[in-house]
Amino acid sequence: MNLQPNFYETGKRYFRDFTPGDDFYEALIETHRDLTDEQSALVNAKLILLLSNHIGDISVLREAMALARADIVPVA
C-alpha cells in the first residue's frame, strides 16, 4: 500500500489538495478550542462517524483506516 498522498490520482477521493494553514485545518482547530481532552476525543469520534456516513464507501473508509493506523505501533 502506498502511504504517500497523491492529490491527483483518479479515484482517490479521500485526499484533497489542501495547503498548510488551510481553512479546514483552522476550522478543525477552532472546533476543539476550549475543550477538555475527553470532550475533544468525543468530538473526534462524532466527526469520524459523521464523515464516514457522508463518504459512504466502505473500501475508501477501510483504506483510510489502514493509512491512519499504518505508522502506529500497538502497545502489547
Question: 5-59, pLDDT tens digit by residue?
Answer: 444 455 555 455 656 557 888 899 999 999 999 999 999 999 999 999 999 999 9
Identify the pLDDT of residue 15. 54
Our count of domains for the chain comes to 1
Identify the pLDDT of residue 6. 47
Reduce the secondary structure of 29-73 to three states and give it as a string: HHHHCCCCHHHHHHHHHHHHHHHHHHHCCHHHHHHHHHHHHCCCC
Identify the pLDDT of residue 65. 93
Segments forming the whole domain that contains residue 61: 1-76
**Is residue 21 a contact partner of residue 13, using CB atoms and an 8 Å limit?**
no
